[in-house]
Amino acid sequence: MFKWIAGGLAAFFSIRYLSRLQKAGKNITSRIKVKIHKIGLTGIELTAEVKLQNPNPVALDIQHPFVKILFKDKILGTSSIENSIIEVAEHSEKTFDLRIQSAGWLTLIQILGVTVASDIRSGNPIKLPIQTQMITRVNGLPYEKTDTILLQL
């Protein structure tokens, strides 16, 4: 009889803990800032600052984020992939600084257009509405967020 009670309690607390981890993964918030870092012969290099905030009373295991930069649903550039897991303590945040290498100038001209690409190359001020897509895993569950931001030069 005692085995059944102990087994039932263990199952109850395990399910409760796992459901709290799943709920905590849904409550995480993220913010992305993107800046033009360098304009070179091969294209533009962007930097992305990804801030992940954990407002939960439970520590979370987060895979290193992967960021895609899109313009009208076409990829301008991506960050590198890292296979590492970072723990974010309860009620805290973690910031990731990522370098995003864009496609070459020919691809940028096809996606952005000749005038925008030449304005970027010559350093003229531009305001470009882009989409940022951040993909990661929180406690083994997929997490994806897409935002539209304004990229300025």
Mapping DSSP onto H, E and C, the string for 108-138 reads HHHHHCHHHHHHHHHCCCCEEEEEEEEEEEE
What are the average pLDDT values for consecutive 10-residue runs of the chain, which has 153 residues?
A: 68 61 64 86 86 85 91 89 89 91 81 83 84 87 87 79
Residues 90 and 64: beta-carbon distance below 8 Å: no
Cα–Cα distance, 107 to 121 (Å, whole number): 14
CA distances from 52 to 5, 111, 141 (A): 40, 30, 15
pTM: 0.76
Cα–Cα distance, 90 to 16 (Å, whole number): 17
Domain annotation for the chain: domains and CATH numbers:
2-152 (2.60.40.10)
